[in-house]
Copies of this chain bind each other. A is one copy, B any other.
Amino acid sequence: MKLDSRLSSVLHVLLHMAEKETPATSEILSRYLGTNPVVVRRTMASLREAGLVRSERGRGGGWTLARQLSAITLRQIYEALGAPALFAFGNRNDRPDCLVEQAVNARIEGAMEEAEALLLARFEAVTLADLQADFRARLPVHLQEIHVHGRA
């Protein structure tokens, strides 16, 4: 099953953007992901429509965050991406006539709904600021000061 890695990708680049003062170009961001600038624009465009980031054209342009890191949750980003399907499995038919299949679907859907609620609750509870703190905690101690105090 081919995985959708847009959420992972976009979180990665948003945090790199947060470490910069100036707008980050699609070209720069695409290098963090080992991909193509067009892929970055396509994905970031969804976030712009949701008001999470801004883009500027022309010389000196690029992408910037539209809000504080603490005001952007993973859930908001997930929704901005169009709330893509979370699960790689599902029922064969959504409205079967067969009573057996209805019984099977109901049990599977019940479990999926519980798992989805759990995932979305976790996404909602995490902000970009939390991820930035996680990242900084991974830095060697002598570098942590620079990032925490040396920048905006």
Q: Is the CB of A98 within 8 A of B32?
A: yes
Give the docked Cα–Cα distance between A99 and B140 (Å): 11
Oligomeric state, in copies: 2
Per-residue B-contact encoding for A59-88, CB less than 8 Å = 1, 0 else:
000000000000000100000000011111
Q: How far is the CB of A96 from chain B (nearest CB, A)?
A: 8
Checking B3, B106, B134 against A90 with a beta-carbon cut-off of 8 angstroms, the contacting residue is B3
Residue in B closest to A105 when the chains form the complex, CB atoms: B8
Q: How far is the CB of A89 from chain B (nearest CB, A)?
A: 5
Residue in B closest to A2 when the chains form the complex, CB atoms: B1
Residue in B closest to A125 when the chains form the complex, CB atoms: B111
| Residue A119 is within 8 A (CB to CB) of chain B in the complex | yes
Per-residue B-contact encoding for A82-117, CB less than 8 Å = 1, 0 else:
001111111110000011111111111011101110
Q: Which 3 pairs between the two chains have the least Cβ-Cβ distance?
A: A103-B134, A3-B90, A111-B122
